[in-house]
Homo-oligomer: A and B are copies of this chain.
Amino acid sequence: MRDTDIESLGTCAFSSPLRIPHFVPDDSRVLVDVEWTDSAAMSERASFENAGPRKHIFFDPSKTTAAIVTCGGLCPGLNNVIQSVVRMLYHQYGVKRILGIQYGYEGLCEKYGHMPIALTPDSVSIIHKEGGSILGTSRGPQDCAEMVDWLIKNQVSILFTIGGDGTLRGAAALHAEIKKRGLPIAVVGIPKTIDNDIRFAHKTFGFATAVSVATNVIHSAHSEAKSARNGVGLVKVMGRDSGYIASYVALASIEVNVVLIPEVDFALDGPGGLLSHLEDRLQKKGHAVILVAEGAGQKYTLSSGMKDASGNVKYGDIGLALKDKIEGHFKQANVPIVLKYIDPSYIIRSVPASAEDAVFCIMLAQNAVHGAMSGKTGFVVSYWNSFYTYVPLTMATGKRKQVRPDGYLWTMVKEATGQPDF
């Protein structure tokens, strides 16, 4: 028996009454130590580079110019990341010329006329107390050649891009263009996704803060629902492709009765549908709280199929669609209900980072700087199995991390809400 083995009282004689799709095999184990230095024996197992400071670096700090750009929607912690990149570059590595690019990739294109801002530890000393990004953001890609020209003209050696999937794909294209031209410019991504949907990242900054704020909103929806006869609180939260925020909020609040996420299809009408379940619930309890992620149930919306400035498909508003469907259904059934619809997205994503996210932002930012200074390029800094890692830009983008409909998280959410499969 190994030290790490635990004891058992005996043979398992009963079948588990759990109604879940799968179980953990009895011999499933988790490695104690997941960090090691390369060895032939282990080479066949996939691994990421371990993030952190290197003994030798590629860039001469005294001659290096770094630039930081933030793109896409707001996310708690943007300013913390900016601040930490600046502090680490300036105080620890001695890089004194740091440019803040204004309004996302637009700021890297001459034609928009946005001037970069000189960033110093002093100028960023209290920005972590505010939400948003002091650099401003914008959506959408820009011409790669134009942006590389800008980097050359402004003598930028390292570009930190803070953004989501679209932004990182942009960074990958930028990196390809730089490589094609054979330039010594590092492109580093720091994943920013309030949806927590980046591949090979167990956690992304801002997510914990968002869950916390959204959980408070559920308390409000719950109070509204309980205070009316047949009260229905309907809340839409972020989650284009992945339902992590909705799932975590449902668990944290224990006040949600139905969760709808992009990964799990649902029927509205018919005997086993959402509306029929809602009818039952109102009859039994007199109120209900429904939490829907923005990407859920797109087939019920009037989505145009058009794309937004970032190249993402424009989604229909499932919140308003559900509101209409539910109100229409009960009107037809002649059952008066009181539905309150809350869309708190702009209140959630614009708050300052929580203490825990603040620390996480520092760690991500510092490791991004370590990687860049050692000459690594074309990567994102990530968090994986409790370690900070460097993951190729191409691996981190394109496919999203998603909630598995037959996995443990979703099973637990259903347990917490008591909802069936619709």
Q: Are B252 and A358 in contact (CB under 8 A)?
A: yes
Q: Are B392 and A5 in contact (CB under 8 A)?
A: yes
Is A333 located at the chain interface by the 8 A CB criterion?
no
Q: Are A6 and B346 in contact (CB under 8 A)?
A: no
Q: Are A389 and B30 in contact (CB under 8 A)?
A: yes
CB of A277, distance to nearest CB on chain B (Å):
18
Is A74 located at the chain interface by the 8 A CB criterion?
yes
The residues in A between 342 and 389 inclusive whose CB is less than 8 angstroms from any CB of B are: 342-344, 346-347, 350-351, 354-356, 358-359, 362-363, 366, 370, 373-379, 384-387, 389
Given contacts A13-B58, A57-B14, A356-B212, contact A5 B132 (CB under 8 A): no
Q: Are A30 and B385 in contact (CB under 8 A)?
A: yes
Given contacts A347-B344, A375-B8, A386-B386, contact A355 B215 (CB under 8 A): yes
Q: Which of B23, B103, B351 contacts A54 (CB 8 A)?
A: B23
Interface residues of A, dominant DSSP? mixed
**Complex Cα gap A185–B395 (Å):** 48
Q: Which of B51, B92, B229, B358 contacts A17 (CB 8 A)?
A: B92
Q: Are A248 and B378 in contact (CB under 8 A)?
A: no
Question: B residues within 8 A CB of A58?
Answer: 8-14
Q: Are A29 and B49 in contact (CB under 8 A)?
A: yes
- Among A24, A74, A128, A389, the one with the most B-chain Cβ atoms within 10 Å of its Cβ is A24
CB of A420, distance to nearest CB on chain B (Å):
14
Question: B residues within 8 A CB of A46?
Answer: 2-4, 31-33
Q: Are A31 and B31 in contact (CB under 8 A)?
A: yes
Given contacts A61-B17, A346-B224, contact A229 B74 (CB under 8 A): no
Of the listed stretches A133-141, A161-169, A262-270, A299-307, chain B binds A133-141
**Complex Cα gap A14–B59 (Å):** 7
Question: B residues within 8 A CB of A362?
Answer: 251, 412, 416
Of the listed stretches A35-43, A146-154, A290-298, A323-331, chain B binds A35-43
Given contacts A53-B23, A91-B415, A387-B30, contact A184 B10 (CB under 8 A): yes
Count identical subunits in the complex: 4
Q: Are A53 and B24 in contact (CB under 8 A)?
A: yes
Is A254 located at the chain interface by the 8 A CB criterion?
yes
Is A45 located at the chain interface by the 8 A CB criterion?
yes
Question: B residues within 8 A CB of A130?
Answer: 223
Q: Which of B52, B359, B389, B416 contacts A248 (CB 8 A)?
A: B359
- Among A19, A58, A94, the one with the most B-chain Cβ atoms within 10 Å of its Cβ is A58
CB of A232, distance to nearest CB on chain B (Å):
12
Q: Are B186 and A9 in contact (CB under 8 A)?
A: yes
CB of A132, distance to nearest CB on chain B (Å):
3
Question: B residues within 8 A CB of A399?
Answer: none
CB of A421, distance to nearest CB on chain B (Å):
17
Q: Are B52 and A28 in contact (CB under 8 A)?
A: yes
Q: Are B375 and A10 in contact (CB under 8 A)?
A: yes
Q: Are B226 and A136 in contact (CB under 8 A)?
A: yes
Q: Lowest 3 A-B CB distances belong to which pairs?
A: A24-B52, A132-B223, A12-B56
Q: Mind listing 12 A-B residue pairs with CB under 8 Å? A: A6-B378, A9-B58, A12-B56, A16-B57, A20-B53, A23-B53, A30-B34, A31-B385, A136-B227, A217-B347, A227-B350, A248-B356
Interface residue ranges, A against B (CB under 8 Å) = 2-20, 23-38, 45-61, 74, 78, 83, 87-88, 91-94, 102-103, 106, 114, 125, 128-134, 136-138, 179, 184-186, 200, 202, 208, 211-212, 214-215, 217, 219-221, 223-224, 226-229, 231, 233, 248-249, 251-254, 340-344, 346-347, 350-351, 354-356, 358-359, 362-363, 366, 370, 373-379, 384-387, 389-392, 395, 408, 412, 415-416
